[in-house]
Amino acid sequence: MISSPDTYVTAPQDSQNHSGVSWGAIFAGAAGAAALSLILVLLGFGLGFSAVSPWADSGISAKGLGISTIIWLALTQIIASGLGGYIAGRLRVRWANLHGDEVYFRDTAHGFLSWAVATLVAATLIVGSIGSVVSGGVQAGASMASGAAGAVTQVAGSAASNTSSQDYGYFIDSLFRDDRPAAVSDDAAHGVVFRIFAKTLNNGGDMAAEDRMYLAQMVAQRTNLSQADAERRVDQVYGQARQAVEDAKLAAKNAADTAAKVAAWTALWMFISLLCGAFFASYAAIFGGRRRDAVTYTEARAYTTTTTAR
């Protein structure tokens, strides 16, 4: 039987020697909050992945996905923490002969402790359960980005693993240079051009005059262009390659700046969501504690019946 919230039954026993912390109630509330958080986060990831589409002009936008994620995390914290705080307040032991302010403080503390334990447990469970899913998506995106960057880097000749061999190849090619380059295969000619471009781009982008003249001679020999036209073609193609490298560097800087801003905003909103969770857990524990104190107990009475023999 539950009486009105304003009715409180004071136990006759003295509670001065008893602890003011009901760890059983705290862990029970934390377990409920952590389990509900895990369920809601998994549901959120499922809805988010179903709303994202790799095709252009379809699915939710990146901004919409970010906003919906923030809202969902906040709701998850409010709902799960509120449930955990209510359970902790409702299941805690009754404190007899205590002032109302002390009961209010203890209920608030129980809700906060329940939220703290649940947050630690939920963080461990979420990282262990969803880490592989998220890391798989991140690794896929990183592989695509690194593949695109690797293509540009290969053209630019700035791959770290091949830098030393390219430099040595450039110096070795310099040993066999002639005023009139000998006719070689296409692969060999492409290799010479690649090493000259790589060496020049790695050293600041200014091509040496002898390299420019040598490349123009090779182009003129293989394309029947005049020396002046070949030099203009070398300048044009090298300018395009240099611009591609600069564009790649700018894109990388923009991506890093965007990632930093996203990480900062994500951390900020996670902080706000956790604060909301702590508040609602404490408030729900107060409500649950009051409902716990409003419960009255009825005594079972034994009734006997007598029969009269006739």
User: Tens-of-pLDDT digits for all 310 residues of the chain?
Assistant: 444 444 444 444 444 556 678 888 999 999 999 889 889 988 988 887 777 766 666 667 767 777 888 888 889 999 999 999 999 998 888 777 777 788 888 889 999 999 999 888 877 876 665 555 555 555 545 554 455 445 444 544 444 445 555 555 665 566 556 666 666 676 777 777 888 888 777 777 778 888 888 888 888 877 878 888 888 888 888 888 888 888 888 998 988 888 888 788 888 888 898 899 999 999 999 999 888 888 776 665 555 555 554 4
For 173, the token pair is: 């090619």
pTM above 0.75, yes or no: no
The predicted structure's pLDDT at residue 218: 81
Cα–Cα distance, 30 to 247 (Å, whole number): 51
pLDDT of residue 38: 85
Strand, coil or helix: 309: coil
Three-state SS at 295: strand
Please report the pLDDT score of residue 237 as a whole number.
Answer: 84
pLDDT at 278: 92
- 209-246 burial string, b = 16+ CB within 10 Å, else e? eebbbbbbbbbbbeeeeeeeebbebbeeebeebbeebe
With CA atoms as reference, report the closest residue to 29 among 286, 293, 291, 281.
Answer: 281
pLDDT of residue 11: 45
- Structure-token pair, residue 13: 């026993």
Q: How far apart are CA 161 and CA 247, in angstroms?
A: 22
Three-state DSSP class for 2? strand
> What residues have CB less than 8 Å from 129, skipping those under 6 apart?
38, 42
Beta carbons within 10 angstroms of residue 98's beta carbon: 17
Strand partners, 2: 295
Q: Which residue, chain included where needed, has tokens 């895990």?
A: 38
